[in-house]
Amino acid sequence: MHSMCSLLLSAALLCACSPALDWRQMRPAGLGVQAVFPCRPASLAREVSVLRRRSQMVVHACSAGGSTYAVSGVTIGDVGEVAAAMKFLRDAASRNLDAGSPPAQPFEVPGMTPNAQAGRFMVTGRRPDGSTVTEHLLLFAYGARVYQASVLGDSPDEAAVAVFFGGLRVTP
């Protein structure tokens, strides 16, 4: 745990040198998480179809340093379908970037409910104009709520991604 804190602190210090990133800790309204964003996020809520059900997804996102940082959450009607919903969201991210299914890397967000489908993924694909794009994706859950955090850009800074993902905490 101590080495993880040291790594996050080092990453934060490296990212702090960049004037494009202005890190701020916040509790985005309607999500039940604490997050550290490198810019002031805007929020929106929209209806999405997950597992053939319409649900409201709350999204908080901003762009800085050439990447877009986002945290979203959607409540699934049945806690037994949370794993399927996480797989659905991971597959949707891959389809959106015209990419294959990425392998998972273990990642635990403090306070999350353990789930085999949770983890960190890196998806490299193409935009509609053919240019390359990379998305760092983190999926986790708390009860029947599924969360998706992502950093999307040409070449997202690894240290900034580590600070962003490392700053997430479930706050029910």
> pLDDT value at position 42?
96
pLDDT single digits (tens) 67-107:
999 999 999 988 999 999 999 999 999 999 999 888 889 99
Total count of domains within the chain: 1
SS3 60: strand
Residue-range definition of the domain harbouring residue 69 = 2-170
Q: Which residue has the higher pLDDT, 17 or 69?
A: 69
- Using left for φ > 0, alpha for ψ between -120 and 50, and beta otherwise, residue 32 falls in left
Sign for the CA dihedral angle at 15, 17, 19, 22 comes to positive
Cβ neighbours around 144 below 10 Å, total? 16
pTM: 0.86
pLDDT single digits (tens) 100-148:
888 889 999 999 999 999 999 999 999 989 999 999 999 999 999 999 9
Cα atoms in the Cβ-side hemisphere of radius 13 Å centred on 89? 32
> pLDDT value at position 57?
93
Render 111-161 in DSSP notation, one character per residue.
Answer: TPPP-TT-EEEEEEEE-TTS-EEEEEEEEEEETTEEEEEEEEESS--HHHH
> pLDDT value at position 12?
43
Which CATH number covers residue 61? 3.40.1000
